[in-house]
Structure 1
Amino acid sequence: MINKYSIKEILDKGILFENKKLIVEGWVRSFRHSMFIIINDGSTVKNLQIILSRNLKKKITVGSSIRVMGIIKKSFGNEQDIELKLYEIKFYSLVDNNIIQKSIIQPKTHSLEKTREQIHLRFQTTIFGCIMRIRNSISFFIHEYFNKRHFLYLHTPIITYSDCEGTGQIFQVISTSKKEKDDNKYFFNRKSYLSVSGQLEAECAIMGLGKIYTFGPVFRAENSNTKRHLSEFWMVEPEIAFYHLEDNINLAENFLKLTIRYIIDNCIEDLSFLNKNVEKWNKKKNFSILKILEIILKFSFYRVTYTEVIKILKKIEKTKNVNFIYPVYWGMDLQSEHERYLVEEYFNGIPVVVFNYPSSIKPFYMRMNDDKKTVRAMDILFPRIGEIIGGSQREERYEILINRIEKLKLNIDTLWWYLDLRKFGSVPHSGFGLGFDRFVQFITGMNNIRDVVPFPRTPGYTKL
């Protein structure tokens, strides 16, 4: 029996496969000098070279899918250690060369904007293959990280009637059935929405399970067409009972560092390819993904209060003659320009944890500090991307929580169960949210979040 292997398996074992007869399948990346077929099966960024022993009657075109059987030989070329000497070939599908010339599959460099126009084909490109393998590895490690620390994986509802953030930027769910009357248009008999977070429901679970995490899709109806925002995105949200703000920050820093370490150790081929090419894609000189990642691993994150940050930014405006677009004052919500300058310029690329934000700019569920002006919130700021994690210690005190809800004029009727939790063994607890897609964007060095998501959903854009 002749075994079938992935290209990654073959190349990883290298010369150990020499003189071994095997089968490999994949897509043609190029066909050179009528005797060299270069194929890839998606398992690795590297390709396998196949040497023809005779001329083929069929014309081999880029993108065609094939099954080949042959013997692995040591290569005398400089670009690969081994190659496959062809004995037998089967064509699953031959692609019309005229079609290829109009697609992003043809062997030449395409802009990232061009690949977004043919979103159904970009999985066949080298760059998107690298990004998807890294995305898969990040996802795998996240589950492994929390599982090893005895967190329970919880599926929170996608459809909810609670607006977690209180911003109103959420998608409403209604019935479109023509048979239903207008006064009965709500499928769930009340206003319901696509969730922006599973946090509130997660807090129910930790009151009996101790620590859980959610990892799933969330939705935001914010009409923000930037390179960092999506309408549908994935969030990682751990929630832990008996955790104070300091515990929460420590967990978040450890989580980020170990995830990055895992990707460097296990995806170095894909990272190296991106590191080599991302400079021209992002049109930035001396841009190194690996250098940025290594800095994050090397140094402890700076930890500064929001009040200290405002003082720093004001000082920068005066002494460095920096003109921020958004004015700096205590009580403002930090913008991306402030976050990035703080990390990239003031702290030399080392991540920053900003904590104790004004209560006026944070959601109702964050624990009030003794000063009655700030809450135990924290954001972790990364170079290039700004906020990568947002979290807080939650308000466990019933009276203070209900006063906060009333002050913000939120609907108590939809939050009765959340308040009820504070009557049944309430404890200090904390959690944070990581925008998974933004984290993938940061690790891969891509400039636009649309380029790290299989099927991006943004305002006015649903290509597939």
Structure 2
Amino acid sequence: MASGQSAVASLKPQHNSVEQFKYSNRVVLKSILGRSDAGLGLAGQRVVVGGWVKSFKEKAHKDATRAPAPAAVVPASRDLTCFEVLVSRTPFRIFARLVGKEVMSPPRPPPQQQQKLQQPEIVDAAPAPATVQTSVAYLRVNDGSCVANLQVVADTKMPLVRDMAVGVSILVEGVLEQRSEPGKQFVELKVENILHVGVVDSKNYPLANHSLSLETIRPFPHLRVRTTTVASITRIRSAISHATHQFFQKIGFIHVHMPIITTTNLQDCSKMFQVTTLFNKTDDMEKLSTVNDREAVNIEVVKAAIREKSSRIEELKRSSSNKEVLLAALEDLQKANELALQLGEQKRSTTFSVGKMDFSKDFFSCEAYLSMSARLHLESYACGLSSVYTVGPVFQANDSPSKKQLAEMWMVEVELAFAELEDVMNCAEEFLKFLCQSILENCPDDIKFLSRKIDKNCTGRLHSFISTSFARITYAEAVEHLQKIYKQPIIVYDYPKELKPFYVSVKNDRKTVSAFDIIAPKVGVLIRGSQKEERVDIITSRIQELGLPKEHYEWYLDLRRHGTVKHSGFSLAIEDLIMFAVGLQDIQDAIPFPRTSGHISA
């Protein structure tokens, strides 16, 4: 038995009912190909499937009716002698042994009878039908629900089949059949009706080639999810988001939405995106544009006049013109230079006044920014709900060319009231292990595919991450053992206070703070966390030390003035975890629409 047939025979069919998508009559491909029997139990079922064509091949197919046996040749009827009947039915050598002597060839019939035997009578028969040559289209179709593609077979004589190509979207109806030839899938769809074809411009379709690197498709974020690689990364990202809610909801955390526009500066304003509507003042911008255009024209005109007057003066100096004409020309040139200086000063003054914006006239009547983190606001809800978390975007205006930084990232941020540093470290470790376990359980095919495509060690790395206890060392020990390479995740804690933000709790030595980082192989820091400073006097002095505007943090200090408790939290960038899990080299491939310095394509 062939290996493909053995594999088919080893699969035990499941129930043969077709599971339709709840909000249409379409059957999701994962419900066919993701079954333990690879869809064999659904053979013979009529289904409607949709998706995008990954490959298209057209093959000739012989569909011929077998020709009947040749027309029987019947000799002309005559009476035969007993000797002729015996000879015709007995092999000659056997006949010779039977009679016991050498026998010559049987006697030939008379010429008249011999002529009759040489003219057989032909019985009429129907002519054999001609072989019919047809063409069949074989399409590999994927709807994004799984790694596997479904082979779809359609007769090229069907309407719209000729419009199909790589990238085309289709919706077809047909019958699932067991494939006669061995392959990765054991069922295929024999098309009976084509319900929809979304054509594609094959010449300009950027994903027409089968082998495309992540870097090649990066400029097309709106299309790249149609590749198996990016689709797998996206399904893993979805599993991480789902597992995040599952983990925290199960242990009693409350999910809250935090603002992304803030007046609070966490670290450095130069790294924050400013939010303003001042540049939308159409009248002011038009006036400014008109003034600038007019001044630019005036300056150019004056400069041209100065060049012309200077040339004229040189000519007068070389000629025998009288001194009065020369003096008049010199005076005219001086006036032109003075005018040029005035226009230059006016332009600098206008530019300065535009740069000094009056934020009292802005939308919020003050300076506002896109948030770099929600953790300060999250503390306020932890001080009323005890244990909370949020999932949302954060922004950083960092123009570093690093492959591990984005201007926009998605962050899981957690805050626990009545919790100290040890408590939050335990929570963070268990959370990370739960996410890795969820990836392996819910995306096994995606991880298997990406281990072949990107990093062969990603599966083993996830298993190791789950089964290994995180080593815990202080920052001082980490520096001391800087040359040692850790092959397991580690937690570094007790950082010098100069390395961490103002809100981190200061330890009794007044030199270190209760902060920690979880560092993993391949990606570096995965989680940053800390115990927050609950003492109002210490956090006030820290704000002053760093030169931060205290008026912006009065609401934050109120949390310490009114019913303060010890509380701790941590944050995880989803893109960093995806890089770790999959083995990606560039963080732009871990997010659907990457935003980096100098790049925003959609």
TM-score exceeds 0.5:
yes
Q: 2:53 aligns with which of 28, 38, 59?
A: 28
Q: Unpaired segments of 5 or more residues in structure 1?
A: 280-286, 317-341
CA distance in 1, matches of 2:270, 2:534: 24
Q: Does structure 1 residue 63 correspond to structure 2 residue 88?
A: no
Max Rg structure: 2
CA distance in 1, matches of 2:537, 2:202: 71
Q: Does structure 1 residue 173 correspond to structure 2 residue 173?
A: no
CA distance in 1, matches of 2:258, 2:221: 30
Structure 1 window deviating more from structure 2 (37-46 vs 107-116): it is 107-116
2:202, 2:208 within 8 Å by CA — same for their partners in 1?
A: no
1:164, 1:199 within 8 Å by CA — same for their partners in 2?
A: no
Task: Supply the AA of the counterpart residue of 2:379.
Answer: E
1:29, 1:107 within 8 Å by CA — same for their partners in 2?
A: no
CA distance in 2, matches of 1:51, 1:30: 12
CA distance in 1, matches of 2:154, 2:427: 55
1:171, 1:221 within 8 Å by CA — same for their partners in 2?
A: yes
Q: 1:11 aligns with which of 33, 41, 52?
A: 33
Alpha-carbon offset, residue 16 of structure 1 = 2.1
Alpha-carbon offset, residue 29 of structure 1 = 1.0
Q: Does structure 1 residue 460 correspond to structure 2 residue 589?
A: no
Q: 1:99 aligns with which of 201, 204, 210?
A: 204
Structure 1 window deviating more from structure 2 (299-308 vs 152-161): it is 152-161
CA distance in 1, matches of 2:396, 2:510: 30
More helix by share: 2
Distance 1:425 1:6, change over 3 A: same
1:241, 1:428 within 8 Å by CA — same for their partners in 2?
A: yes
Residue in 2 aligned with 1:372? Answer: 510
Alpha-carbon offset, residue 446 of structure 1 = 1.2
CA distance in 1, matches of 2:586, 2:453: 15
Q: 2:402 aligns with which of 217, 226, 241?
A: 226
2:390, 2:412 within 8 Å by CA — same for their partners in 1?
A: yes
Residue in 2 aligned with 1:324? Answer: none
CA distance in 1, matches of 2:210, 2:156: 27
1:172, 1:193 within 8 Å by CA — same for their partners in 2?
A: yes
CA distance in 2, matches of 1:159, 1:172: 9
Task: Supply the AA of the counterpart residue of 1:112.
Answer: L
Alpha-carbon offset, residue 97 of structure 1 = 3.0
1:367, 1:375 within 8 Å by CA — same for their partners in 2?
A: yes
1:145, 1:255 within 8 Å by CA — same for their partners in 2?
A: yes
Alpha-carbon offset, residue 49 of structure 1 = 0.6
The residue correspondences of 1:32-51 to structure 2 (distance < 5 A) are: 32-34=57-59, 35=136, 36-51=138-153
Residue in 2 aligned with 1:199? Answer: 375
Does the residue aligned with 1:90 lie in a helix, a strand or coil? strand
Alpha-carbon offset, residue 75 of structure 1 = 1.9
Alpha-carbon offset, residue 166 of structure 1 = 4.8
Alpha-carbon offset, residue 91 of structure 1 = 3.5
Does the residue aligned with 1:22 lie in a helix, a strand or coil? strand
Structure 1 window deviating more from structure 2 (184-193 vs 391-400): it is 184-193
Residue in 1 aligned with 2:499? Answer: 361
Does the residue aligned with 2:231 lie in a helix, a strand or coil? helix
Q: RMSD over aligned Cα, in angstroms?
A: 1.8
Does the residue aligned with 1:187 lie in a helix, a strand or coil? coil
- Post-superposition Cα deviations, 1:202-226, rounded to whole Å, max 9, x if no partner, equal 1111111101111101101111221
Q: Does structure 1 residue 86 correspond to structure 2 residue 191?
A: yes
CA distance in 2, matches of 1:210, 1:80: 51
2:176, 2:187 within 8 Å by CA — same for their partners in 1?
A: yes
Q: Does structure 1 residue 303 correspond to structure 2 residue 325?
A: no
Alpha-carbon offset, residue 441 of structure 1 = 2.0
Alpha-carbon offset, residue 296 of structure 1 = 0.6
1:70, 1:87 within 8 Å by CA — same for their partners in 2?
A: yes
The residue correspondences of 1:435-454 to structure 2 (distance < 5 A) are: 435-454=573-592
CA distance in 2, matches of 1:171, 1:117: 24
Task: Supply the AA of the counterpart residue of 1:177.
Answer: N
Residue in 2 aligned with 1:332? Answer: none
Task: Supply the AA of the counterpart residue of 1:118.
Answer: F
2:253, 2:387 within 8 Å by CA — same for their partners in 1?
A: yes
CA distance in 1, matches of 2:567, 2:220: 45
The residue correspondences of 1:132-143 to structure 2 (distance < 5 A) are: 132-143=234-245
CA distance in 1, matches of 2:417, 2:393: 23
Q: Does structure 1 residue 384 correspond to structure 2 residue 522?
A: yes
Q: Does structure 1 residue 247 correspond to structure 2 residue 437?
A: no
The residue correspondences of 1:206-285 to structure 2 (distance < 5 A) are: 206-279=382-455
Q: 2:363 aligns with which of 184, 187, 209?
A: 187
Alpha-carbon offset, residue 368 of structure 1 = 0.6
Distance 1:156 1:54, change over 3 A: closer
CA distance in 2, matches of 1:374, 1:172: 32
Task: Supply the AA of the counterpart residue of 2:239.
Answer: S
- Post-superposition Cα deviations, 1:371-405, rounded to whole Å, max 9, x if no partner, equal 11000000000111100100100001111111111
What TM-score does the superposition give when structure 1 sets the normalisation length?
A: 0.88
Q: Unpaired segments of 5 or more residues in structure 2?
A: 1-17, 60-135, 285-353
Structure 1 window deviating more from structure 2 (191-200 vs 12-21): it is 12-21
1:173, 1:186 within 8 Å by CA — same for their partners in 2?
A: no
1:174, 1:185 within 8 Å by CA — same for their partners in 2?
A: no
Residue in 1 aligned with 2:323? Answer: none
Alpha-carbon offset, residue 168 of structure 1 = 4.3
Structure 1 window deviating more from structure 2 (433-442 vs 248-257): it is 433-442
Structure 1 runs (4+) deviating above 6 angstroms are: none
Does the residue aligned with 2:466 lie in a helix, a strand or coil? helix
CA distance in 2, matches of 1:430, 1:370: 17
Residue in 1 aligned with 2:7? Answer: none
CA distance in 1, matches of 2:211, 2:268: 45
Q: Does structure 1 residue 291 correspond to structure 2 residue 394?
A: no
CA distance in 1, matches of 2:439, 2:421: 27
CA distance in 2, matches of 1:236, 1:97: 41
Structure 1 window deviating more from structure 2 (436-445 vs 120-129): it is 436-445
Alpha-carbon offset, residue 140 of structure 1 = 1.1
Task: Supply the AA of the counterpart residue of 2:200.
Answer: V
CA distance in 2, matches of 1:118, 1:172: 28
Alpha-carbon offset, residue 98 of structure 1 = 2.3
2:262, 2:369 within 8 Å by CA — same for their partners in 1?
A: yes
Task: Supply the AA of the counterpart residue of 1:120.
Answer: H
CA distance in 2, matches of 1:67, 1:177: 46
Does the residue aligned with 2:34 lie in a helix, a strand or coil? helix
Alpha-carbon offset, residue 54 of structure 1 = 5.8
Distance 1:192 1:97, change over 3 A: closer
- Post-superposition Cα deviations, 1:297-346, rounded to whole Å, max 9, x if no partner, equal 11100100000011111xx3xxxxxxxxxxxxxxxxxxxxxxxxx5xxx2
